[in-house]
Amino acid sequence: MKKIHLVASVLVLGLIGGAIAVPCAILADSDAAVTDSAASTAATQGAVITTTGDHVITPQRARDVFNDTFDNEKNPVSRFVLDPGYGHLKILAKNTSDSTITFSLVHTDSGKQYIVKTIGAHKKLLWDSVNSFSLGLRSGNYEIQWRANGDIVHVTTWGVSETDSAKVTPQRE
């Protein structure tokens, strides 16, 4: 008789555990990609500075904020929004023209100009905000104004923002 009660108790506890675990697994936050810091892949390198093998799990939150190609405009503009908490920005721009290109990054809500950079003909530039603005950029609306001394601008560019200043990794280099 005692064995029947023991078996019944174990079955009930198993059912209760399954009833809790299954909904928790289904409702888990899928927006936060979880990586093992001991892994060594392009997607996880630099996610956290740690000793190999300590198995710290760090959420990665990065967003592509713009991806533009301009080929037939004199003064094109890239527009994007940095959401609160995503103030670390990396910009990669490839100049495919015979002219030098100049671009400026402006926070349009305040009018603050953060940077002005030039890219030589057939060159590329990788700019990381953490090198100039260690606390990140303010949230809000931004514009990047592209110029080529009156010539047609030929540029392919994209930007990635992230919550962590350790490494903002562009998806396409």
137-146 pLDDT, tens digit each: 999 999 999 9
Bridge partners, residue 124, by sequence: 94
Q: Tell me whether residue 171 is in a domain.
A: no
Based on the domain organization, do 48 and 14 belong to the same domain?
Answer: yes
138 Cβ contact partners less than 8 Å away, ≥ 6 residues apart: 82, 87, 107, 110, 112
pLDDT tens digits along 94-123: 999 999 999 999 999 999 999 999 999 999
**C-alpha to C-alpha distances, 39 to 31, 45, 137, 173, nearest whole angstrom:** 20, 8, 30, 21
Based on the domain organization, do 21 and 99 belong to the same domain?
Answer: no
CA distance 33 to 95: 33
Q: Domain boundary at 58, 77, 106, which?
A: 58
Question: What is the value of pTM for the model shown?
Answer: 0.62
